[in-house]
């Protein structure tokens, strides 16, 4: 009986040692930190999920249909994310706030046909370009405007913070800025604006859906490609997205989505999506 206290004390010490070891593992240390980094290598808001800021009203690029975010940009991102083992969660926002929200880590990625500019590079980092674009000039159906050089002195509407806003400002057009694409098209329909400088694909779709109230007057090639935006310094995520983009170009997904959302739109001869090192299958070869 004299040995029981000693045995009990030894057992208690052993249990304490196990608890201490468990606590160290749970609290992290080198082992815990490594496990956490392995589970979330891209520093996402939620491991395995790419939380993405996008728009609800800019077809065919990014929009909401039957409760689902879709469009060329968003469908492409979903395919890119799958290549690197991620699911995408889309959240609607205004374009004027999107880049700041990405850099402040409200979103992991911004998806909204974002044209790469030097000014925007001060706020976010960009992946490789995945699309080219044109500026479209939409006007009311009865307008005599037929070109961009006829806009001086006119009431020109743009979506705030876009490259179309930059263009109108540099051309000294004193544009009327609205927060979203619905606001722009509604001004044309109501006759409170003379013209809308839009991403051409969005302008085309808006005119087609206007029941004859709006027409496309002109188009011109945008000066830079569009790309997904990530927070400054998140090189791991940016590089992973670039890798996934090259893979969906190589397997024909990019070409299929181009044909689906922009049927008949010619691709400029000097435009190379992604890293530029991957052969782009034709839509017929990819199907």
Tell me the pLDDT tens digit for each residue of 89-146.
999 999 999 999 999 999 999 999 999 999 999 999 999 999 998 899 999 999 999 9
Residue-wise pLDDT for 160-208, tens only, equals 999 999 999 999 999 999 999 999 999 999 999 999 999 999 999 999 9
Average pLDDT over residues 61-74: 97
Q: Is 51 strand, coil or helix?
A: strand
Quote the mean pLDDT of the chain: 88
Q: All domains of the chain, ordered by start, with CATH?
A: 49-132+224-286 (3.40.190.10), 134-221 (3.40.190.10)
Distance between CA atoms of 253 and 287, rounded to whole angstroms?
9
* H helices, E strands: number in the chain: 10, 13
Distance between CA atoms of 227 and 57, rounded to whole angstroms?
19
Of the candidates 75, 109, 80, 115, the one whose C-alpha atom is nearest the C-alpha of residue 93 is 109
Q: Are 248 and 254 in contact (CB under 8 A)?
A: yes
Q: Are 124 and 110 in contact (CB under 8 A)?
A: yes
pLDDT score recorded for residue 35: 52
Residue whose token pair is 């479209």: 136
Residue 30 has pLDDT above 50, yes or no: no
Reported as half-sphere exposure (CB side, CA atoms, 13 A), residue 285 has a value of 10
Report the percentage of the chain scoring pLDDT > 70.
86
Residue 6 has pLDDT above 50, yes or no: no
Average pLDDT over residues 57-86: 97
What global pTM score does this model have?
0.78
Cα–Cα distances (Å) from 33 to 36, 39, 227, in that order, read 5, 10, 32
Q: Which of 17-21, 79-83, 184-188, 207-211 has the lowest mean pLDDT?
A: 17-21
**83: Cα separation from own chain's centroid:** 17
Per DSSP bridges, beta strands 124-126 and 87-92 are unpaired
When pLDDT is cut at 50, 70 and 90, the band that residue 281 belongs to is: confident
Specify the higher pLDDT residue, 223 or 124.
124
pLDDT score recorded for residue 269: 87
Name the helix (H) or strand (E) containing 283.
helix 283-286
pLDDT score recorded for residue 284: 61
Distance between CA atoms of 213 and 206, rounded to whole angstroms?
10
Q: Which residues, 6 or more positions from 73, have their beta carbon under 8 angstroms from its beta carbon?
A: 54, 61, 62, 111, 112, 113, 130, 131, 226
Of the candidates 185, 200, 167, the one whose C-alpha atom is nearest the C-alpha of residue 57 is 185
pLDDT score recorded for residue 158: 97
């Amino acid at each position: 009986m004299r040995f029981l206290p000693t045995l009990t004390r030894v057992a208690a010490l052993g249990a304490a040692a196990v608890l201490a070891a468990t606590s160290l593992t749970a609290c992290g240390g080198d082992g815990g930190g490594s496990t956490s980094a392995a589970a979330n290598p891209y520093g996402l808001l939620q491991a395995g999920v790419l939380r993405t800021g996008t728009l609800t009203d800019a077809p065919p690029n990014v929009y909401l249909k039957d409760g689902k975010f879709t469009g060329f940009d968003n469908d492409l991102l979903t395919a890119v994310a799958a290549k690197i083992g991620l699911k995408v969660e889309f959240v609607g926002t205004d374009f004027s706030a999107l880049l700041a929200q990405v850099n402040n880590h409200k979103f992991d990625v911004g998806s909204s046909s974002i044209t790469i500019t030097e000014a925007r590079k001060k706020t976010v980092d960009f992946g490789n370009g995945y699309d080219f674009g044109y500026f479209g000039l939409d006007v009311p159906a009865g307008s005599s405007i037929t070109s961009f050089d006829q806009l001086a002195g006119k009431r020109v509407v743009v979506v705030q913070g876009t490259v179309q806003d930059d263009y109108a400002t540099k051309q000294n057009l004193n544009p009327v800025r609205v927060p979203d694409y619905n606001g722009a098209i509604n001004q044309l329909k109501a006759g409170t604006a003379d013209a809308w400088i839009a991403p051409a694909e969005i302008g085309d779709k808006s005119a087609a859906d206007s029941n004859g109230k709006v027409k496309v007057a002109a188009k011109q090639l945008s000066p830079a490609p569009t790309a997904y935006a990530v927070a400054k310094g998140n090189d791991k995520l940016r590089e992973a997205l670039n890798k996934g983009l090259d893979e969906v170009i190589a397997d024909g997904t990019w070409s299929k989505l181009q044909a689906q959302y922009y049927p008949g739109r010619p691709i400029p001869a000097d435009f190379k999506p992604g890293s530029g090192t991957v052969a782009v299958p034709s839509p017929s070869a990819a199907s």
